[in-house]
């Protein structure tokens, strides 16, 4: 679906340029944005391939998905008893995780995806858009991955895998509970 959207967006841009609806000075920026989208698509596809070939990363990804689903479907807060959310990933949340899975699991210098650590991907949505779950999926994946890859080290010297910071005054009350 993302690939089809890129293709239709590119065709729409071309039509707008040809009809004079977009000025020439924006053409380079538009082409750059389409190229970035194509690079992101390739990184997502590489993420799927990586998960299909790397047993440990795939296992960690599955465990992270199970953990996130359990945390969303089985409420632990007393005010939420009997409420089931039937959690499902939104497409952008899965895309964000697939976009970053190779660099996330690239623990050695020779690992594929290591060069992607120089890229900063930012999920920028209004409150309630699902950013927290996308980030938590990635955090859970790296936590499980490190335990799978380094079981003894993680038992003897557990370490910080991720730091997540929110400005509390910007959170709504339901977000603060998470």
Q: Check if the beta carbon of residue 149 is closer than 8 Å to that of residue 56.
A: yes
Q: What would the pLDDT profile of 10-48 be if each residue is shown by its tens digit?
A: 999 888 888 888 888 888 888 899 999 999 999 999 999
User: What are the Cα distances from residue 75, in Å, to 48, 64, 85, 87, 143?
Assistant: 31, 17, 9, 12, 22
pLDDT confidence band for 175 (50 / 70 / 90): low
Give me the pLDDT at residue 166, please: 61
Mean pLDDT of the chain: 82
Whether the pLDDT of residue 141 is over 70: the answer is yes
142 and 162 Cβ atoms separated by less than 8 Å: yes
What is the mean pLDDT of the segment spanning 142-154? 88
* pLDDT in the model for residue 95: 92
Q: Does the model's pTM come out above 0.85?
A: no
pLDDT at position 178 over 70: no
Distance (Å, rounded) from C-alpha 44 to C-alpha 41? 5
Predicted pLDDT at 169? 52
pLDDT-derived band at 125 (thresholds 50, 70, 90) equals confident
Name the pLDDT band for 83 (thresholds 50, 70, 90): low
User: In the predicted model, is pLDDT for residue 59 greater than 80?
Assistant: yes
Buried b (16+ CB within 10 A) or exposed e, 81-104: eeeeeeeebeebbbbbbbbbbbbb
């Amino acid at each position: 679906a993302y690939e089809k959207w890129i293709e239709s967006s590119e065709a729409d841009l071309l039509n707008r340029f040809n009809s004079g609806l977009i000025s020439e000075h924006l053409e380079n920026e538009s082409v750059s944005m389409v190229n970035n989208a194509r690079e992101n698509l390739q990184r997502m596809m590489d993420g799927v391939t990586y998960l299909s070939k790397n047993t440990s990363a795939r296992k960690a990804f599955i465990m992270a998905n199970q953990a996130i689903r359990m945390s969303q479907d089985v409420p632990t807060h007393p005010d939420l008893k009997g409420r089931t959310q039937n959690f499902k990933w939104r497409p952008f949340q899965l895309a964000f995780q697939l976009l970053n899975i190779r660099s996330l699991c690239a623990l050695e210098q020779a690992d594929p995806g290591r060069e992607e650590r120089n890229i900063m991907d930012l999920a920028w949505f209004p409150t309630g858009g699902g950013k927290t779950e996308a980030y938590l999926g990635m955090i859970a994946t790296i936590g499980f991955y490190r335990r799978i890859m380094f079981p003894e080290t993680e038992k003897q010297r557990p370490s910080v895998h991720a730091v997540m910071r929110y400005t509390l005054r910007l959170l709504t009350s339901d977000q603060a509970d998470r």
